[in-house]
Amino acid sequence: MRPFLAAFLLLPLTAATAPVPQPALAPLTFEQIAPEGTKMPRFKVDAAWPAMPDDLLLGQVSGVAVGPDDSVWVVHRPHSLTGTDTGLAQSPPIAACCKPAPPVVRFGKDGRYISGWGGAESAPTIDGVNQWPISLHGIFIDKAGSVWFGGNGKGDHVVLNYSPEGTYIRSFGRRDKTGGNDATDQLGNPSDVNHSDGMVLISDGYTNRRVIGFDAQSNAYKGRWGAYGKPPSGPVLQGAFDQSHAVDPSRVADPGAGIFGSIVHCVAPTKDGYLYVCDRNNNRAQLFKREKKGGLTFVRDLAIAPETGGTHTVTDIAFSPDPQQTYLYVADMMNGRIWILERKTHAILGAIGRVGRQAGQFTWLHSIDTDSDGNIYATEVNTGRRVQKLVFTGIE
C-alpha cells in the first residue's frame, strides 16, 4: 500500500488541473409568500460552481463579497479543517488530498480560482502581537478593489485592510485588546465592515453590541451607535466567543429593552443613503438613515421569522444590482433560506432554499452578496463549509 500511495502523490495537484466547469443549473426550493401573480426574482443553483484547485479545500466559509470587477472573494477558516481533511498537508503527507486553501480566496464569476493569500506572515506585529485573526469573519471589497475583513476568534478584536494582491494597508482595533461598547479606539470581535461615502462602518458585534464608524481618510473615530440609534449598551461577552454562544437564549435581548441582541452580524449600506444592521439573535434588521456628517438615524425594525430560535435568522443582507436596489435579500441561518423582499415596502415576497446539504440547500447559512448580473453567492459555516452560486434567471 505504501508504494502505491507514494506513487499516487507524485501526480501534480495544481490549479491547472481544475478546469472551469460548465454551469449545471438545478432548481431551488421556493416558497411563494406574496399573492399569486406577484413578480419577483427567480434563481437556480449552479451545482458546478466554483472550480477549486485539485489539492485545495475550504473550511468554514465565513464571508463572501463581490468586487467591482465581479470577481467573488471569500474568507474561510483553515483551522476548522481536521487532519482527516488535510492529509496532503501533513509531514510527511498521509493522503493524496488535501491542504487548506489560503484564508482569502478570489474566484472569477465563472468559478475559476484566481488567487489566494493571507495568514500571519502577511499581517503586521504590533507591540509584539501579530494582528492576523484566528477566525476570519466577514469580507468587503471597496470601489478601489481593496479587501476588508475582521475576526471573531479569541482576541480577534481587529479589522484589517489589504490590497487585492494581499499587501497590508491599515487596521482598526488591536488583537487581544477590547474595551466594551464605549471604547472609541478598540473593537470587540467585529463581524462585518463596509467602506463607502468616506466612512468605515463596522458591526462590532460578537463581544460588543454596536456599530462603530471611522473617517476613511484620517482613520479618526466618528461615532458609535446601539439599537434605535441610541448610545450602545447591553452586556458585553466575557471571554472568547464559541459556537455554543450562537444558540444561547440568554444572548437574545428583549425587543422592548432597546438594545441589540448579541450577535450584531452585518452592516449593509444602500445606494440611496440608508444602512441595514443585522441584529441576528433578535431575528431582525434595523434600518438607519445615514446622515451627511456621518451619523445614523433610526428608521424602522424589520423582523424576519421572529419566532425562530436556535441560530436565529438575520445573518446577512444583500440587494438586487439595479440602480434602485428594488429587491432585498435576507440570509436566514436557522431556517436555511434566503428571503426575498421588496425594498421599498419591505413586503416579503418569497423565500428560496431549505436546510440541507445538497446543491441549493444550506447548513449554517452565513453570508451573501450579489454580482452585477443579479446572481447571489451564499456561504456556510459550521459543518456546511462551502460557497454556492444561485443564478438569477429573471423576474417572473
Residue by residue, DSSP assigns 171-239 as EEEBTTB---TT-SS--SS--EEEEETTEEEEEE-SSS-EEEEEETTT--EEEEE-GGGSPP-SPPPPS
Smallest Cα–Cα separation from 314: which of 287, 294, 295? 287
State pLDDT tens for residues 140-196.
999 999 999 999 999 999 999 999 999 999 999 999 999 999 999 999 999 999 999
Domain residue extents for the chain: 24-53+315-396
Percent of the chain with pLDDT over 70: 93
Give the burial class of 93: count Cβ atoms within 10 A of its Cβ; 0-12 exposed, 13-18 middle, 19 or more buried.
Answer: middle
Check residues 3 and 132 and name the one with the higher pLDDT.
132
Please state which of the ranges 18-32, 59-73, 188-202, 263-277 shows the lowest mean pLDDT. 18-32
What cell numbers appear for 167 in the block?
Answer: 499587501
Contacts of 184 (CB under 8 A, 6+ apart): 212, 221, 224
Q: Read off the pLDDT band of 238 (50, 70, 90).
A: confident
Q: Is the pLDDT of residue 16 over 60?
A: no
pLDDT given at position 14: 42
Cβ–Cβ under 8 Å, residues 58 and 78: no
- Which of 46-60, 91-105, 231-245, 250-264 has the weakest average pLDDT? 250-264
Looking at residue 306, its pLDDT comes to 95
Least confident of 10-24, 63-77, 332-346: 10-24
Pairwise CA distance, residues 135 & 115, whole Å: 20
SS3 percent helix, strand, coil of the chain, rounded to 5, is 10, 40, 50
Any idea which architecture 24-53+315-396 has in CATH? Answer: 6 Propeller (2.120)
Q: Please give the mean pLDDT across all residues of the chain.
A: 93
Over range 201-214, report the average pLDDT: 97
The amino acid sitting at 57 is L
Sequence-distant (6+) residues with CB within 8 A of 31 are: 337, 350, 351, 352
- How many whole angstroms separate alpha carbon 301 and alpha carbon 289? 13
pLDDT value at residue 1? 33
